[in-house]
Amino acid sequence: MTPRKIRTRIAPSPTGFLHLGTARTALYSWAYARHFDGEFVLRIEDTDVARSTQDSVDQILASMHWLGLEYNEGPIYQMQRLDRYKAVIDQLIAEGKAYYCYSTPEELDAVREAKKARGEKALYDGRWRPAPGKTLPPIPAGVPPVVRFCNPPDGDVSWDDLVKGPITISNREIDDLIIARTDGVPTYNFAVVVDDWDMEISHVFRGDEHINNTPWQINIFHALGAPLPQFGHCPVILGDDGQKLSKRRGAVSVTAYEEGGYLPEAMLNYLARLGWSHGDEELFTSEQLVVWFDGTHLNKSPAQWDPVKLLWVNAQYIKQADNTRLAGLVATQLAKQGITLDASTIETHLPQVCALLKDRCDTTVALATWAAKFYGDITPDATELAQHVTDAVRPAVAMLAEKLSTCAWDKASIAAVIKEVLAANGLKMPQLAMPVRVLVMGTAQTPSLDGVLEMCGKEKVIARLAKA
Ligand code: GLU
């Protein structure tokens, strides 16, 4: 037998944004396919018509694009494949592997309650399941049927999970799954199998909330005579409070991190590391991930989302990032604060400001907050003003302003003027630098003074020093 081509997929439901957990399994699926020179497919599982929205589809596509998770095929929409599902369902019915069930919700509730009362698992009682010699109930008028899959009544379903290792679940634990609703739309567990079969998916990475669905899916694969993919179920991501990361617990959408000033490569690096390791490597590019990621070393136990570590990772990438690229990102963040810059400032001046500040910023939002001091207004902190801008230093500040007004505007000339003023007033650097920083940048903690003054521009510096 020739080995199967490696084909992976991510199959988000467009009932909300791209969740961090899904982004992580998308990343693993993508990296696995790339590692083995395979293909990665994006499928949109939109059969939950009531909850699926175009807005969610758009957000999912935008997030995948932002993260750089390019797919070889897709997006494929399940709702465009209804004819295919119907054909497979009809075939299963014809082969006696699926059947119509006319039980009403009330009947099903009653069965469930009765089973529960007897201490049994509340499974479907199989009353519409055909069997040799069995007489089925008369078909009730006006009750639209669902279609159920004939799950094997006995035996076990086992698979060797790429993440969790061997898993076995008894068929007695599961019942005859509904595979088509009364309106004919297939359910998740059925559509996912037909799709993974048709799309020749060889490896399925997904969240471990789907472990309990897998036995059904494996039984359906067998019923269809379809080859089984290998499954890898990744543990949930826990929030920093140890609870499952959820909408109610902080930001869980990829989009929120984009808006929060994270770089996509930092996000990828952090997500990859969250649930997988390569020795003790913490910082790596996505190309490096592709080289290393072969489906091993995936953690069996849940990872904890660590916002502080993510910030640290982001800061490392910001330090290395190209200044022109940072300028573009910072300009977008500045615009959100109401500061719009012209194209030439963004192309020439802002990159230098980014270069000056990026070592002290862990997000592009933080970078924009700093950059705003160069382009917008500043309000010096009153306590810092009182502490640093004293009568003793005011004459030196005035002298500095005066000398700067005629000085050539480059770092070296500015540094020379500062030196001259320090000497003339018998001051040490911090005695002058602190008040000047507070006056010009609104805070005493800034990068090197000459660099800050140069970037701020002569006019602004003189005007701000005049407020001493
Ligand atoms: N639509 C499912 C989800 O978002 C996909 C699960 C799977 O990958 O099979 O959870």
The DSSP string of 79-139 is: GGGHHHHHHHHHHHHHTTSEEEE---HHHHHHHHHHHHHTT-------TT---TTPPPPPP
Q: What is the pLDDT of residue 348?
A: 97
Q: Is 233 in the pocket of ligand 1 (CB under 6 A)?
A: no
In ligand 1, which atom is closest to the CA atom of 213?
Answer: 9
Instruction: Tell me, using a 6 A CB cutoff, whether residue 23 lines ligand 1.
Output: no
Task: Give me ligand 1 centre to Cα 13, in Å.
Answer: 7
pLDDT at 298: 96
CA of 29 to the centre of ligand 1 (A): 13
Q: What is the pLDDT of residue 245?
A: 79
Alpha-carbon distance of 11 to 48, in angstroms, equals: 13
18 with 12: CB under 8 angstroms? yes
- How confident is the chain (468 residues) per 10-residue block, as mean pLDDT? 88 92 96 98 95 96 97 97 98 98 92 90 93 94 96 97 97 95 95 98 96 97 98 92 71 88 98 96 97 96 93 98 98 96 97 97 97 94 93 96 96 97 96 97 93 96 94
Mutate to test the pocket of ligand 1, among 40, 81, 192 (most ligand atoms within 8 A of CB): 192
Q: What is the pLDDT at residue 83?
A: 97
260-297 pLDDT, tens digit per residue, is 999 999 999 999 999 999 999 999 999 999 999 999 99
The residue whose CA has the least distance to atom 5 of ligand 1 is 11
Full-model pTM = 0.93
Question: What is the reported pLDDT for 247?
Answer: 59
Q: Which of 13, 42, 44, 49 to mutate to test ligand 1, by most ligand atoms within 8 A of the CB atom?
A: 13
CA–CA distance, 101 with 97 (Å, rounded to integer): 13
192 lines ligand 1 (CB under 6 A): yes
Model confidence pLDDT, tens digit, residues 354-395: 999 999 999 999 999 999 999 999 999 899 999 999 999 999
Residue 229 CB less than 6 A away from ligand 1: no
Cα(100) to ligand 1 centroid in Å equals 26
